[in-house]
Structure 1
Amino acid sequence: MTRTISTPPVIDGVGVNRLTADDDLFLKLHSLYGNALVNQLAWRFDEALDPELLTRFHAHLAEGFLARRVQPVRVPFARPYWLPATESLPLVWDSAPVADDEMLDWYFAQSRVDFDPTTGQVWRLSAAPTTTGGTLVSLVTSHVASDGGAVLFAVGDALARLDERPDFAAGSGQLVGTEPRNPLSANLIDAGRQLRAVAKGIRAAIATRGVVEPERNLRPELPLLPLPNRWSPADPVVQLDLTEWNAAATRHSGTTNGLLIALGAGILGRSGRVGDTAGIRVDIPHSMRTSGDPRANATTGLPISVTYRAGERIDLAAVRSAVKRAATAYRDPATTPALQHLQPLQMVLPRFVLRHFARTAKAPECLCTNLGETASGVADFAGHHASAVLMRPVVCTNDTDMFRRVEVGVNLSFSTDGHTVTLAVTGADPDRFPSRAALRELLSTEFESWGLTPSFW
């Protein structure tokens, strides 16, 4: 749950695709916590899909960019690398039709899956019919092997090749990487590179030790609601008109992205998680993926501080200025916080050290992801157009006290097809968002303050 900055892809002359610091961090967190967090790309179709179509889609995914496994190395300080997967989880087709009021529960249930990065079992495709004659489809992926950009790339490539024979070498799978001709020599060279990167990172961290990031707020200990020992975060999904969204942003001197950030901060404030005039730390993921990029994770993050004032809307002009300042600062290594320079060191730390830090690590209090107009590129399945496309991180069911200990807050994920906004909201503070209904009520009040008309799933 720690924010990291991806390093550029390091692929040597024989096609070895080494794990980046992001990949390494998610792999270590997976070893500690399992599938506490997964990504989900989901579709709603108003018509029935032929299971054979989904079988072909699954076959292409199994030969594509997601089909990768971690190859460990024995040379100290050398990084593991990606190889084509040796296994994939089978397509799951639920025969029981899903009613409209059961849809969110069905989507959430797909997060209950055990992934294995060492074999390549890092994604699962599932589908179910609806009681109204439609089809629900879900693709759940491990963050170890893919971020949102990687999933969209893999899915887009698979959909474009549905009429072709699945071929790892012809599609996006060719970017995954290959075994070096001389593994020992390649790993020794990489170990030397890593040691140099550690030394360089330590020097840069010392030089930037005075650079600070916005601070997060301490989670209030009270109230402490009587909840079960295991709890599932509140996860409503809402659709809004994009024209109305943009008009509201313009009316208040802001941007599409700024309104998303304001909604997240406003919900957190309305919940009582922070007090009046509090500066809320908002983390904003930003894709660094380029054409032909082989990285599993290629996302950086910008932290900003947003002031919450009870009874008032968030100042969108101030949000815009804060985002610009953060983007400028993070383009210059001299103004990048020291911790971010230490990523090469993070990769060589032994697991017991990571476990010590993990016990005190905190999750973002407000995370706002703007995926832009991504839905339109993955909405068509061989002539069948999805009536809605949802992309979101799923915070899985876990110990209630764990959510309190890591002080996780609220998470918003925005995507659009150019006409409709689909907003996925996850409230993972059990005492502020104890149920989907409670979070929905807060959302409705916040939307009303901006003149927005929501339609909840």
Structure 2
Amino acid sequence: MSNVLDVLDQRAFDLGRAIGITSLAQCVWVYDRPVDLDGLRRFHEHLQRGQLSRLIEQSPLPFGRHRWVAAHNSSDLEIVEAARPREEFDAWLAEQVDIPLDGEHGPGWHLAVLPFTDGGTGVSLVVLHCLTDGVGLCEALTEAALGRDNPISWPSPGSRGRWQALREDAGQTLRDIPAAGRAVVAAIRLARRSRADAGPTETTTTPTVLSGADEPVAVPTATVLVDAEEWDARAHALGGTSNSLLVGFVARLAQRVGRVASDGSVVVGMPVNERADGDTRANAIGRTTVRVDPELATTDLREIRAAVKQALMRHGEVPDEEQAVNAIIPLLPKRFLGATSRVGATDQVGSSNLGAVDPAASRVDGTESDHLVIRGFPHRGLTEAMLNRFGGTHSLASGRANGRVFICAHSYLPGRVNTNDLLQQDLSSTLKDFSLTGTQLGALRLA
């Protein structure tokens, strides 16, 4: 099996290196009792031998494709000895996000467990986005919880001699030339279409400020959990589905924080799962968009439901030119890639729906946890200046586990006050707009 990175995976890795940011996922488990540490150690050992047991080895050619290699230096399981109150759980999770990870040299993920003073336990797993997407992560969690190891044996780092690596990577580049040619044509078409559509999609948000501090800032994060039956009942009452309710929710939240187009609409970008059996890609996803009227979302989801269905059908029928452009990424100078990059589009918000998570993924110590949340892919290393240049960022990740729908938002808008507390208030207010009730992650208590 080839260990050459897919062009989208290479783009994710090279873009992060070019602009100095790291995209992460954080899985959070909450137990209302002490965890079985032996069971958690077994889970950790299977993660070390599972789908996350690989790293990226860069090509010796500046324009060469990188390759997957085996990871031999995963981090140890972190067991915090001193218990902390549940009120400090969010702060501890933020500390976990700040632990250094490296997709090339390792470690690529980190597992830790924190006892609560009330007898409960919190568990955190932070994973690099360049190693997996959301669906791949859920698969990795399930396999590790079930005690299954990855059947693929990746080559050891540095196992190719320099001349062998140069020869093989040069040959790969020659084979990639037709795809690169198609990427250039697709890029030209996209540029023309972008110029034609520039007027109507301008946002009414505060104009981007091209200055700001170069010190890293944390993008505000907020999480709520909603009873799954209540969520589904509300979706049905509004004439929609769980997914269309999420899209409507995302649009309404974007309206609340001021991220709307000049006509009051919101463009929602949705990742589309393209993972197949035996897929070794880290990011096996496509992307489609849908324009939503947030004013309709809280009263009638039928129009949004139809628009989402049409967008997904269009994605399956029409070639994705943005994906095609990725074939040229390895040929671009990294300095150029960094100078032209953007974390998010000012006229779009992100909506990632993981759907129902396999129940096995909730059993990290061999027993059922009380709550499981996957906290999206926040960017670490972003500075105020970068966020202003990018036009900020706004995305939401959701899924369902343990009888609840979890919703995790990340949002930063230039010219606006950006804090966790304000985002949490906006998230709670948006729930009220839909007549839904939610619980904050840090407010979960023993029954």
Q: Return the TM-score normalized by structure 1.
A: 0.84
Go from structure 1 to structure 2 and tell me whether the alpha carbon gap of 1:436 and 1:78 turns closer, same or farther (over 3 Å shift). Answer: closer
| DSSP-derived class of the 1:358 partner | coil
- What pairs up with 1:288-367 in 2 under 5 angstroms? 288-309=274-295, 313=298, 315-333=300-318, 336-337=320-321, 339-358=322-341, 362=345, 365-367=348-350
Q: Which residue does the alignment assign to 1:166?
A: none
Go from structure 1 to structure 2 and tell me whether the alpha carbon gap of 1:112 and 1:401 turns closer, same or farther (over 3 Å shift). Answer: same
- Structure 1 residue 265: deviation in Å? 1.2
Q: CA RMSD in A?
A: 3.2
CA distance in 2, matches of 1:223, 1:444: 28
CA distance in 2, matches of 1:177, 1:298: 22
Contact kept? 1:276, 1:308, Cα under 8 Å: no
- List runs of 5+ in structure 2 lacking aligned partners: 442-447
Go from structure 1 to structure 2 and tell me whether the alpha carbon gap of 1:108 and 1:365 turns closer, same or farther (over 3 Å shift). Answer: farther
| DSSP-derived class of the 1:281 partner | strand
Contact kept? 2:138, 2:358, Cα under 8 Å: no
Equivalent position amino acid for 1:317 in 2: R
* Structure 1 stretch displaced more, 280-289 or 437-446: 437-446
Q: Which residue does the alignment assign to 2:374?
A: 391
Residues 324-383 of structure 1 deviation map (CA, whole Å, 9 limit, x = unaligned):
22222222345x34x432211122111122122127974774111111111523011354
Q: Does 1:196 align with 2:209?
A: no
- Structure 1 residue 193: deviation in Å? 1.3
Residues matched between the structures, number: 431
- Structure 1 residue 396: deviation in Å? 3.5
Equivalent position amino acid for 1:123 in 2: W
Contact kept? 1:277, 1:308, Cα under 8 Å: no
Contact kept? 2:202, 2:262, Cα under 8 Å: no
Q: Which residue does the alignment assign to 2:150?
A: 172
- What pairs up with 1:40-439 in 2 under 5 angstroms? 40-75=26-61, 77-161=63-147, 171-172=149-150, 174=152, 176=154, 183=165, 186-203=168-185, 215=201, 217=203, 219-221=205-207, 231-274=217-260, 277-309=263-295, 313=298, 315-333=300-318, 336-337=320-321, 339-358=322-341, 362=345, 365-374=348-357, 376-392=359-375, 393-396=377-380, 398-417=382-401, 419-429=403-413, 431-432=415-416, 434-439=418-423
- Structure 1 residue 204: deviation in Å? 5.0
CA distance in 2, matches of 1:229, 1:200: 39
* Structure 1 stretch displaced more, 299-308 or 133-142: 299-308
Equivalent position amino acid for 1:61 in 2: L
Q: Return the TM-score normalized by structure 2.
A: 0.86
CA distance in 2, matches of 1:208, 1:313: 34
| DSSP-derived class of the 1:405 partner | helix
Contact kept? 1:375, 1:390, Cα under 8 Å: no
Q: What is the aligned-residue identity percentage?
A: 25
Contact kept? 1:43, 1:388, Cα under 8 Å: yes
Contact kept? 1:63, 1:173, Cα under 8 Å: no
CA distance in 1, matches of 2:250, 2:232: 16
CA distance in 2, matches of 1:133, 1:61: 26
Equivalent position amino acid for 1:353 in 2: F
- Structure 1 residue 199: deviation in Å? 1.9
| DSSP-derived class of the 2:75 partner | coil
